[in-house]
Structure 1
Amino acid sequence: MPTLIDGHGRVIDYLRVSVTDRCDLRCTYCLPQAFKGFEEPANWLTHEEMARLVSRFVALGVRKVRLTGGEPLLRRGVCDLAARIKAMPGVRDLSVSTNATRLDRMASGLKEAGVDRLNISLDSLDEACMTRITGRNCLNEVLAGIRAASQAGFRPIKLNMVVQDGVNDQEVMPMVMFAREHGLVLRLIEPMPVGDTGRATTGRNLSALGDALARELGLVPQVLGRGAGPARYWQDPRSEMSLGVITPMSQHFCEACNRVRLGVDGTLYLCLGQNDQVPLGAWLRDGATDADLDDAIHAAMARKPERHEFQERPEKIIRFMAQTGG
């Protein structure tokens, strides 16, 4: 079986694909309210081009694919693209990251397309707090999306909560109780200094908070199966709820990194916290053969950075999170 190995001996088997850099929200840690620097639609890869690039990664050993954005459900035909990727031999796990504002209308279609899992952004259960963070009163839409996903049969459903000091950190326990009530996986995430918005966001040390919550709630350490990423998890023995923490700042997990990212224009980003990138989309449009693309991917893996420098050089990444793709 083909295997992609980077220059530090890590197996790269996970590809995140941004199908659009547009979003219908303006979360304070992601995009500025007045941001207009989106990629021109003419530079977006078509679904056919996107599928071709993904197929090269799958042929070389990628087994997990996630569709991201921006907000991926804004892109027309995303269910068709998902079905196309899921049908590729070798794809074990296909997931979607979404803010869920459109999920109530699309959950069934995503399930029928073969999507295995959903990650849903939800930073607060308080309407005013949610509006402050996202720039829009969208809480009811997101909650409706979560209900629709559950009714469509998605298991597990992961909630991603970016915990900001003095903004929504008081919402952590209500979110835990919500996840317990509905049998969800709640993942607490430290904000990263990506773009001006990320650098302006102050997070909490979630390594310490996760340990404290586990003790207080009687949670037990858990190892999740398929699709599990960098989070540390605990299981609630009294319900189906799991709690995870993702700690790129207080306890980085770069030594176990298994992923790379494709932007909507086909740019390959080798690290979320570095500037290393490869213009695969441009080369594809210039007539690159599959063999050319495979060679370029192998060469890129050889120079994938060992780790981010968020602590040492937080000013380094000027692009915004939505431009890289989740």
Structure 2
Amino acid sequence: MLIDNHGRPINYLRLAVTDRCNLRCFYCMPHEGIEFLPKNHLLSYEEMLRLIKLMAEMGVSKVRITGGEPFVRKGLMPFLWKISETPGIEKINLTTNGVLTAPYVNELKDLGISSINLSLDSLDRARFFEMTRRDELPNVLHTFDEILKNDIPLKINAVMMAGKNEDDIFDLVNLAKENPVSVRFIEEMPFNGEGIKPEYFLSYTRIIDKIKERHPSLKAIKNEPTSTSYNYQIDDFKGNVGVIAAFSRTFCGTCNRIRITPTGDFKTCLYDEGKMNLRDLLRAEKTDEEIKQFIQASISKRAKDGFEAEANRSSLVTESMTTIGG
């Protein structure tokens, strides 16, 4: 099993299948967007499947597919089916913005998807457009309905920003009142193509305080040891709410995750620079055992937490989240 230099088992791979996205969320990329890479710069599905197989042999049992937006890349569903056939992979999870997802939900259910994370920053159509620069809320809500109809475990991911969608907290919380969903509020991070924007920062503690103002029965519930969120229950709610301290980085001590970007950069922390490129190793015709050795060597030099990883960078964090994998 993969164990890092701090004694933490690694069993969770976050794999970004594309850097492209059909939204332009302003906390993810600049207004003009980013320069997307040519297809041959990205890992092919065959290369990704080989890496998943190798990592499953090393103890990885859970894979989360991210982007960009995964459904922008053609051929995603056949790829997911092949992952489901990989020995050792017990859970496949998906993070999506929901714009293109609804037609595939039935098939996702059939292949045994473990859960879906749906990005949804506002239930107000005008504010959704302001946040994403696209008028796609009806399509996202259609996906929401289809996921619930198919009884697939669902988490809502909402990036909360002061002065932007702060007033949407209560409407989003209410999604968990009548629906068995987990609504999770995420601190804004500097992965927007420009760097940190302190004027928009809304801390996880402030988010919880705001929810308590409206729902005084809010109480903490037990979290999984490797959970990235602090989770809470409200009386008479079918679902629950949570906060992810993505910028405060309070969950780093139990992190069990590694990332592969669309171009094959191997990241042992969201905040590191990904100094090893697996695509280049694959295309240099390295053997499976050689690639495993490179992976193990990288894991054995892992930063203790996101702050150490950021401090070790050669440049400030300014890349877009769509190039990393949300």
Q: TM-score higher than 0.5 here?
A: yes
1:238 aligns with 2:236: yes
**Amino acid in the other structure paired with 1:148:** E
Identity %: 32
1:188 corresponds to: 185
1:172 corresponds to: 169
Report deviation, 1:198: 5.0
1:258 corresponds to: 256
1:207 corresponds to: 205
Range with bigger deviation, 241-250 or 120-129: 241-250
Report deviation, 1:212: 5.3
Gap change, CA 1:319 and 1:307, over 3 Å in 2? same
1:273 corresponds to: 271
- Is the 2:303–2:309 Cα contact (8 Å) retained in structure 1? no
Deviations 1:280-306 (A, max 9, x none): 111111111110111111011011211
**Amino acid in the other structure paired with 2:26:** T
Report deviation, 1:20: 0.5
Give secondary structure in 2 for the equivalent of 1:199: coil
1:106 aligns with 2:104: yes
1:30 aligns with 2:28: yes
Q: Distance in 2 between matches of 1:250 and 1:305?
A: 16
Report deviation, 1:195: 4.1
- Is the 1:207–1:250 Cα contact (8 Å) retained in structure 2? no
1:12 aligns with 2:10: yes
Q: Distance in 1 between matches of 2:290 and 2:63?
A: 22
Report deviation, 1:116: 1.2
**Amino acid in the other structure paired with 2:197:** A
Q: Distance in 1 between matches of 2:162 and 2:206?
A: 14
Gap change, CA 1:298 and 1:26, over 3 Å in 2? same
Q: Distance in 2 between matches of 1:311 and 1:206?
A: 21
1:308 corresponds to: 306
- Is the 1:274–1:316 Cα contact (8 Å) retained in structure 2? no
Give secondary structure in 1 for the equivalent of 2:92: strand
Q: Distance in 2 between matches of 1:218 and 1:272?
A: 34
**Amino acid in the other structure paired with 1:99:** N
Please, which runs of 5 or more residues in structure 2 have no aligned partner? none
1:318 corresponds to: 318
Range with bigger deviation, 312-321 or 97-106: 312-321
Report deviation, 1:48: 1.3
Report deviation, 1:36: 3.7
Q: Distance in 1 between matches of 2:85 and 2:46?
A: 14
- Is the 1:29–1:197 Cα contact (8 Å) retained in structure 2? no
Q: Distance in 1 between matches of 2:303 and 2:180?
A: 37
Report deviation, 1:225: 5.7
Gap change, CA 1:40 and 1:310, over 3 Å in 2? farther
Give secondary structure in 2 for the equivalent of 1:15: strand
- Is the 2:264–2:278 Cα contact (8 Å) retained in structure 1? yes
**Amino acid in the other structure paired with 1:42:** N
Gap change, CA 1:212 and 1:25, over 3 Å in 2? closer
**Amino acid in the other structure paired with 1:185:** S
Q: Distance in 1 between matches of 2:206 and 2:299?
A: 33
Calculate the aligned-residue CA RMSD, in Å.
Answer: 2.2
Deviations 1:22-65 (A, max 9, x none): 00000010012322422210122221111100111111011111
**Amino acid in the other structure paired with 1:218:** S
- Is the 2:176–2:239 Cα contact (8 Å) retained in structure 1? yes
1:48 corresponds to: 46
Q: Distance in 1 between matches of 2:308 and 2:190?
A: 7
Please, which runs of 5 or more residues in structure 1 have no aligned partner? none
Report deviation, 1:223: 2.8
Report deviation, 1:114: 2.4
Report deviation, 1:211: 5.1
Aligned runs of 1:217-232 on 2, under 5 Å?
217-223=216-222, 229-232=227-230
Report deviation, 1:254: 1.3
- Is the 1:222–1:233 Cα contact (8 Å) retained in structure 2? yes
Gap change, CA 1:166 and 1:36, over 3 Å in 2? closer
Q: Distance in 2 between matches of 1:311 and 1:171?
A: 32
TM-score normalised by the chain length of structure 2: 0.92
Report deviation, 1:171: 0.6
Range with bigger deviation, 58-67 or 145-154: 145-154
